[in-house]
Structure 1
Amino acid sequence: MADQALQRRVIRTLVGAQVLTSLGMASGASVGVLLADDLTGSETLAGFGTTAQVLGGALIAIPTARIMAARGRRPGLWFSYSLAAVGSLVIIAAALLRSYPLLVLGMLAFGGATAGNGQSRYAAADLAEDAHRGRDLSIVVWAATVGAVLGPNLIGPGRELGRLVGVPDLAGSFLFALVGLLLGIVVIVRWLRPDPLLVSRELAGAVPGAAPADNDGSLSRGLRVLRAHPQARRGALVVALGHVVMVGVMGMTPLHMAHGHAELEVIGFVLSVHILGMFAFSPLVGVAVDRRGGVVVAGTGGVLLVAAALLTSVSQAGWSSLLLVALFLLGLGWSCTLVSGSTMLTAAVRPDERAAVQGLAEVGMGLAAAAGGAVAGGVMEAFGYRWLGLGAALLGLVILLLATARTRQRS
């Protein structure tokens, strides 16, 4: 059993870094689709701009997992957050040069923040006791609340900061993103010691009869592990599908509101409420996973996502209280699928298998959401926001069916 004082120190460090990096990620991501739309005048291309960040997170998760498998959590988190900081600078340059290709490149690198934050929640579970794994994982997810809720509300101050330093209004938010990411890197490098993944492997190796460690973090190894563990497969699918629904609907909501002439500050407020639903209640979700099981909470998430998507499908363009409620439920449903699926995935595999299978899960989650984001832009332009909501509701139903389906766990 791991030293619980060490586990508490790991959680505190991850929480501090998560607050800072999520502030950076949310402040930038909130205006990414608007900046892409401003540069191109196309909803489809604006959707691809958002998709680039999600795709970047998936691609960066591959080397991040390999680095973590070989050297631990700290070097992997440093790598992913550093790429995101570079991406912030590239996006600002794209806004100055009014270059959409450069914006896409910057958003790809900015996806490193997504990869890093995703792996942070897994780092919180490395040394957790079995009875509290969902709780510890969810605390780090919850830590993103502060930064993520404040982030969209920095759209207005970001506009003023951008004017002050001579960059376009929408690019100002990425200055906040850059600062948050750099501070998060300092916290990880300075205080995430000893490395929780390396310690968990040492503890597992000390158990009589334990399998020898295999620190291969490749995607092929992750696939082999998923084939051997049905519960891990279910967890990975729940996380991926929940993320697709959230990204597809949330990514196009700013445009839906802008079409109804909503102000930037109002758009930021609605997104803040959505992000509040994503993160603020995650500790309660984690406790529910520990007490009731991941399958029950995953099914609850599916129900919430179906309800949220149906409400968005009947919401009017611009501001509406119905849309506000829908976006809150969308965030809460996502929280249920993320925490339950991640806990099921982690609990089903050995410490030496975690980096590979968690990296694969992050790649699958990112690629699925990237495809969903791209499709969402096309659906929005061709058919409208209503049909986007109805399509998302169908995916939420798939999550519910997946959670209630029986699986046979192999020995």
Structure 2
Amino acid sequence: MTRTAPAPATPGASRAPGRALTVLVVSQVLGGAGTAAGITVGALLAQDLFDSTSLSGLPVALFTIGAALGAAALGRVCQHRGRRVGLALGNGVAAAGSAGVVAGAAAHQPALLLAALFVYGAGTATGLLARYAGAELAPPARRGRAAGTVLVAMTLGAVAGPNLVGPTGQLAHAWGIPRLAGPFLLATAAYTAAALVLLVWLRPLPAPPEPAAEDPGAGPASGAGPREPVRGTSGVVTGATVMVVAQLVMISVMTMTPVHLTGHGHGTQTAGLVIALHVGAMLLPSPLSGLLADRVGGGPVAAVSGGVLLGGGLLAGLAPPASVVLSACALVLLGIGWNLALIGGTTLLTHAAPAETRATVQGLADVGMSVAGATGGMVSGLVVTGSGYPTLAVAAGALALAVIPAVALRGSPR
């Protein structure tokens, strides 16, 4: 039987995914700066405008709700209009929300400020959604590394953003705007630049070829990577479950750790350092986690995350309150476990979701993560009030073990 030889790939086509990944990385650096700058002073800005600490938690609540709804809406836009349009729109929405926050603060209009914070939160959902775009640009054997590269790019912006709070506050004051609105000036500029970068330089690319469905009885081809389900509901459900559980566990412990530390005599500077180490552990290992997912598969990486999260929860709960070092180690373990779950779950979901509904499904998975984060933040305070921080940390770690049977029970490859 005569077989037609495949057409040789052109050099431009082979470089196109690399160029697109570079564009995504640049947009993520800009978006990370906008997100971190805004979150840094959101609660303080609300407290200053309302002249009350009781309402200072509203920005976080509105940010979380907006991010959940934004993930669903932007996922659908990406599905029907393409990643370029969806991601650029998300950054544009975040820029508009940031500008609205500045306007609300300058005019001393609390209603405008709160509405703008909601819009800002909806746009920031783009940051996590971009990891799916990175995964789709790469061939199946490199999807984990591509998603990790896009995620770690956020870290660069997230580190730079808070360090510019002082200069942007001075700029805002010079313009007759409250100092605390200064970081949202930065967010407006950063998100606008990110949207323009995506619109101008991110071009639609042909989807990389999916691996062909295999005979269940056949062994893996020589030199092939780990076998993952190519299509199927079980892979989608498993990937989403892993990410949602990890988000719930991580947020619940992270939220109450500063309260736990300051309640036992440690200063806010110490609590801030512990959280900074935690955030670094959440994002910096992304390339290594992606490489691991490409080598052994998203399922094993997701399963390992359960054990790492358990270790972090147990250490946080059993560490003496006087030991900042052990508390920091616990939060670093929680960050690494969350990262493994996110990369492993992303890889599973991207492999399993059909192309015709993939972006929508990915957006809904991130909605689940946002809801889990909001739930963890609210429930954690109740648990600590009723039973104490050690109970919360140990219970959260034990809950993380649920990802292991979720991975073990997923359907076998087609």
| Counterpart in the other structure of 1:326 | 330
Structure 1 residue matching 2:402: 3-state secondary structure: helix
| Counterpart in the other structure of 1:29 | 39
| Matched AA of 1:7 | P
The question of whether the paired residues in 2 share the 8 Å contact of 1:309 and 1:393 is answered with: yes
Q: Is 1:41 aligned to 2:53, yes or no?
A: yes
Q: Percent identity?
A: 37
Unmatched runs of 5 consecutive residues or more in structure 1: 210-225
| Counterpart in the other structure of 2:315 | 311
Q: Is 1:355 aligned to 2:359, yes or no?
A: yes
Query: Residues 167-187 of structure 1: CA distance to partner in whole angstroms, max 9, x if unpaired?
Result: 555443333322221221121
| Counterpart in the other structure of 2:225 | none
Q: Distance in 2 between matches of 1:107 and 1:259?
A: 30
Cα shift at 1:162: 5.2
Q: Distance in 2 between matches of 1:23 and 1:107?
A: 16
Structure 1 residue matching 2:125: 3-state secondary structure: helix
Cα shift at 1:371: 2.3
Q: Is 1:143 aligned to 2:144, yes or no?
A: no
Q: Which deviates more from structure 2 when the two are superposed, residues 23-32 or residues 90-99?
A: 90-99
Query: Residues 127-183 of structure 1: CA distance to partner in whole angstroms, max 9, x if unpaired?
Result: 321211111111111111211233344455555555555555544333332222122
| Matched AA of 1:200 | A
Give the alignment partner of residue 69 of structure 2, picking from 44, 47, 59. 59
Q: Distance in 2 between matches of 1:253 and 1:92?
A: 31
| Counterpart in the other structure of 1:69 | 79
Structure 2 residue matching 1:180: 3-state secondary structure: helix
Q: Distance in 1 between matches of 2:317 and 2:46?
A: 24
With over 3 angstroms needed to count, the CA separation of the structure-2 counterparts of 1:319 and 1:175, relative to structure 1, is farther
Structure 2 residue matching 1:351: 3-state secondary structure: coil
Higher helix share: 1
Q: Distance in 1 between matches of 2:318 and 2:259?
A: 16
| Matched AA of 2:288 | L
Q: Distance in 1 between matches of 2:156 and 2:65?
A: 25
With over 3 angstroms needed to count, the CA separation of the structure-2 counterparts of 1:152 and 1:299, relative to structure 1, is farther
Q: Is 1:190 aligned to 2:197, yes or no?
A: no
Query: How is 1:136-285 mapped onto 2 (pairs within 5 angstroms)?
Result: 136-155=146-165, 157=167, 160=170, 163-168=173-178, 170-193=180-203, 195-196=204-205, 199-200=206-207, 228-256=232-260, 268-285=272-289
Q: Is 1:85 aligned to 2:85, yes or no?
A: no
Structure number with greater Rg is 2
Cα shift at 1:97: 6.7
Q: Distance in 2 between matches of 1:267 and 1:164?
A: 32
The question of whether the paired residues in 2 share the 8 Å contact of 1:22 and 1:147 is answered with: yes
Query: Residues 351-408 of structure 1: CA distance to partner in whole angstroms, max 9, x if unpaired?
Result: 22211211221222222222222323444566554444334323322234433x3222
Cα shift at 1:66: 2.0
Give the alignment partner of residue 374 of structure 1, picking from 373, 378, 400. 378
Cα shift at 1:228: 4.6
Give the alignment partner of residue 130 of structure 1, picking from 128, 136, 140. 140
Cα shift at 1:49: 3.5
Q: Distance in 2 between matches of 1:342 and 1:336?
A: 10
With over 3 angstroms needed to count, the CA separation of the structure-2 counterparts of 1:362 and 1:313, relative to structure 1, is same
The question of whether the paired residues in 2 share the 8 Å contact of 1:278 and 1:335 is answered with: yes
The question of whether the paired residues in 1 share the 8 Å contact of 2:231 and 2:353 is answered with: no
Cα shift at 1:53: 1.5
| Matched AA of 2:207 | S
Structure 2 length as normaliser, TM-score? 0.80
Q: Tell me how many residue pairs correspond in the alignment.
A: 386
With over 3 angstroms needed to count, the CA separation of the structure-2 counterparts of 1:391 and 1:86, relative to structure 1, is farther
Structure 1 residue matching 2:78: 3-state secondary structure: helix
| Matched AA of 1:6 | A
With over 3 angstroms needed to count, the CA separation of the structure-2 counterparts of 1:36 and 1:256, relative to structure 1, is farther
Q: Distance in 2 between matches of 1:134 and 1:279?
A: 14
Query: Residues 92-127 of structure 1: CA distance to partner in whole angstroms, max 9, x if unpaired?
Result: 455567776655433322223432112211111223
Cα shift at 1:35: 4.6
Q: Distance in 1 between matches of 2:377 and 2:359?
A: 26
| Counterpart in the other structure of 2:26 | 16
Cα shift at 1:46: 4.7
Q: Is 1:7 aligned to 2:17, yes or no?
A: yes
Q: Distance in 2 between matches of 1:304 and 1:124?
A: 25
Q: Distance in 2 between matches of 1:316 and 1:47?
A: 29
The question of whether the paired residues in 2 share the 8 Å contact of 1:152 and 1:268 is answered with: no
Q: Distance in 2 between matches of 1:12 and 1:78?
A: 15
